[in-house]
Chain A
Amino acid sequence: MTTVIYRHHETDVPRASAEGDALWLPQPALAELTGWELKPKGLCREAVCVPVPANAADQYVRGDAVNVAAFWQRLGRPVRHAADGTVWVLGDAAADRSQELQNLEAPDFVLPDLAGNPHALSEHRGKKVLLWTWASW
């Protein structure tokens, strides 16, 4: 089983295939996890599209599957995986994070309370929020 971690998601993807530094995800799973979809223009999310390199298309798309690691690298975003390929983390790029924060958009997130119930920051739109961190260590 291949587990893919992105933002607050940690998802088992049954039809994923990890081959070295390539992570092949079925299109629907990729779209559901990250919001990126394969279109004629390339891999797209909202207004942004990353074209499939013409001379290496088979390293990026294979039937219904997309090598998300290859696209992530083209986007300048970090990707890491366990040595045995069973766990992958898709990260965000410094430039994107910087832009988001400098646009003063508070990144949304979902985290659990002590009982394990998930809560999203965006549930509190319409209120002023003090987001405050602490730790037991």
Chain B
Amino acid sequence: MWQALYNDLRGENFMIVAVAMDSRPEAPRPWIEQAQPDYLCLIDQDHLLSDLYNMVNVPQAVWIDEAGRIVRPTEIAGAYEAFRSRDLQTGEIPPEENARKVQAQANYVEAVRDWVRKGADSVHAFSPEQARAHVPLPSEDVMQAHVAFRLGQALLRRERSAEAEALFEEAKQRHPESWNIWRQCYPPNEAGLAAGPEFWERVQSLGDKRYYPLPDMAGMPK
């Protein structure tokens, strides 16, 4: 998704750090090897970034400037929930929803391009006050959830799965907003996706709440 943009912006002091939130470290390999990206691809088995940046779903992104300061805090990076409108029989997505999905992704990519070229002058670059207002703040429960998840992963690697599973349950309860925790801990199907009936039920129970809340960004679909 990002290679074309990265190619366009070579020589502009820009790096993409793409991080796979994958506790099964071999799972992202086929995707990365197929994409053959030139930008940096890292593996976050313990979901450290969820802890550090208060992330709850993928794809989420953070814009960081040359001085290591946050320009746009954690936000959904151009994904759109067209999938929720799919026809249950055919799996088809209504064309107008698909158009919004395309618009959301293209708009996000173009916003990144605009920022790389214009820096703080980009309309998409938040002022420090705006950025501060957009930071998602974690609760103590959320920080406890991250610790429980981390410990669970460490124990899973040591083959203490019963103790690990109890910790994952606790993490899910303390941080119910986290799709990262919930989907990572869900048994994957043959394609490696956490997309079983419980996933669809959980999505449905969102009601009007978005699975992918849209970023506060000009040009996004409604």
Contacts and interface: CB of A to CB of B under 8 A. Distances in A.
B146 A130 contact: no
Contacts of A102: 132, 135, 137
Interface string B123-158: 000001001100101111011101110110011001
Interface stretch (A18-26, A53-61, A62-70, A83-91): A83-91
B58 A134 contact: yes
A107 B52 contact: yes
Nearest to A126: B66
A37 interface: no
B165 interface: no
A33 interface: no
A78 B17 contact: no
A82 B155 contact: yes
Contact of A129 (B15, B51, B135, B155): B15
Nearest to A129: B64
Nearest to A121: B17
Interface string B33-50: 100000011111000110
Which of A87, A89, A130 has the most chain B CB within a 10 Å cutoff?
A: A130
Say which size band chain B's interface belongs to: 35 or more
B55 interface: yes
Given A101-B53, A137-B192, A87 B21 contact: no
Interface stretch (B95-103, B112-120, B208-216): B112-120
A89 B147 contact: yes
B193 to A, nearest CB: 6
Contacts of B66: 125-128
Contacts of B28: 114, 134-136
Contact of A106 (B19, B68, B119, B146): B68
A121 B18 CA distance: 11
Which of A79, A81, A132 has the most chain B CB within a 10 Å cutoff?
A: A132
A100 B167 CA distance: 27
Secondary structure at chain A's binding surface: helix, strand, loop or mixed?
A: mixed
Contact of B42 (A78, A87, A119): A119
A127 B14 contact: yes
Given A80-B151, A93-B143, A135-B183, A113 B43 contact: yes
A126 B131 CA distance: 20
B182 to A, nearest CB: 10
A98 B132 CA distance: 10
A87 B31 contact: no
B31 A109 contact: no
Given A94-B138, A111-B43, 20 more contacts: A78-B143, A87-B154, A94-B139, A97-B54, A97-B138, A98-B135, A98-B138, A104-B70, A104-B73, A106-B68, A112-B43, A113-B42, A127-B14, A127-B15, A127-B66, A128-B63, A130-B62, A131-B17, A131-B61, A135-B184
Interface of B: 2, 12-22, 24, 27-29, 31-33, 40-44, 48-49, 51-55, 58-70, 73, 77, 112, 115-116, 119, 128, 131-132, 135, 137-140, 142-144, 146-148, 150-151, 154-155, 158, 160, 163, 167, 180, 183-184, 186, 188, 192-194
13 contacts: A91-B144, A105-B70, A113-B40, A114-B41, A126-B13, A132-B61, A133-B61, A134-B28, A134-B59, A135-B20, A136-B22, A136-B192, A137-B186
